[in-house]
């Protein structure tokens, strides 16, 4: 959220005017990064259950989605089409991994919270892309996300740590 809020000024300050065109693509790629974070959260769960191949399988699913969407979206949308394809591919990977992780260790994530947080992030990305975002609206969305997920983050991190400790003790 902070990167989205500071996007325009940060890119212009660090990289100069030559990269000013990239400003409109960053929000969509950052949305994809959120989904990447969800999927990366699940990777240690696969490793704990010795299912590292599933990381490869889900990544291949995402790659196929990315290639297909690139063929469909690049011609009409240009670079933005590639950005959207990448974000959607990361979303597919995250959804698959969250579902499989739920089966493995009972991560009972709230689909409502997940959908709400994705909508908030996409809203901020849209506002920034259309250059209609104010720092206050981005900050408010960030605070809402923290409030929505605070208990969940604390609970699942403790659960993952306990699982890892119990696995090491049984060896």
- Do 116 and 148 contact (CB within 8 A), yes or no? yes
What band does 59 get if pLDDT is binned at 50, 70 and 90? very high
- The DSSP annotation for 87-126 comes to HHHHHHHHHHHHHHHHHHH-----HHHHHHHHHHHHHHHH
- For the stretch 60-114, pLDDT in tens is 999 999 999 999 999 999 999 999 999 999 999 998 998 898 888 876 667 787 7
Tens of pLDDT, residue by residue over 112-152, are 877 777 777 777 766 766 666 556 666 777 777 777 777 77
pLDDT for 9 beyond 70: no
Higher pLDDT, 169 or 35: 35
pTM: 0.70
Residue 71 confidence (pLDDT)? 97
Where on the phi/psi map is residue 75: left (φ > 0), alpha (ψ -120 to 50), or beta? alpha
pLDDT of residue 63: 97
The pLDDT, as a whole number, for residue 43 is: 85
- Top mean pLDDT of 2-11, 32-41, 138-147 is at 32-41
Report how far residue 27's alpha carbon sits from residue 125's, in angstroms, rounded to the nearest whole number. Answer: 5
């Amino acid at each position: 959220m902070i990167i989205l809020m500071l996007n325009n000024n940060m890119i212009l300050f660090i990289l100069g005017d030559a990269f000013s065109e990239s400003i409109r693509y960053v929000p969509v790629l950052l949305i994809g990064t959120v989904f990447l974070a969800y999927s990366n959260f699940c990777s240690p769960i696969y490793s704990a259950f010795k299912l590292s191949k599933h990381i490869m399988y889900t990544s291949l699913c995402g790659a196929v989605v990315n290639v297909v969407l690139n063929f469909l979206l690049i011609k009409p949308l240009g670079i933005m089409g590639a950005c959207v394809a990448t974000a959607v591919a990361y979303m597919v990977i995250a959804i698959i991994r969250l579902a499989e992780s739920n089966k493995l260790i009972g991560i009972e994530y709230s689909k409502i919270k997940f959908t709400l947080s994705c909508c908030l992030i996409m809203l901020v990305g849209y506002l920034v892309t259309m250059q209609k975002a104010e720092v206050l609206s981005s900050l408010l969305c960030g605070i809402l996300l923290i409030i929505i997920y605070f208990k969940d983050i604390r609970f699942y991190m403790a659960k993952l740590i306990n699982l890892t400790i119990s696995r090491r003790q049984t060896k």
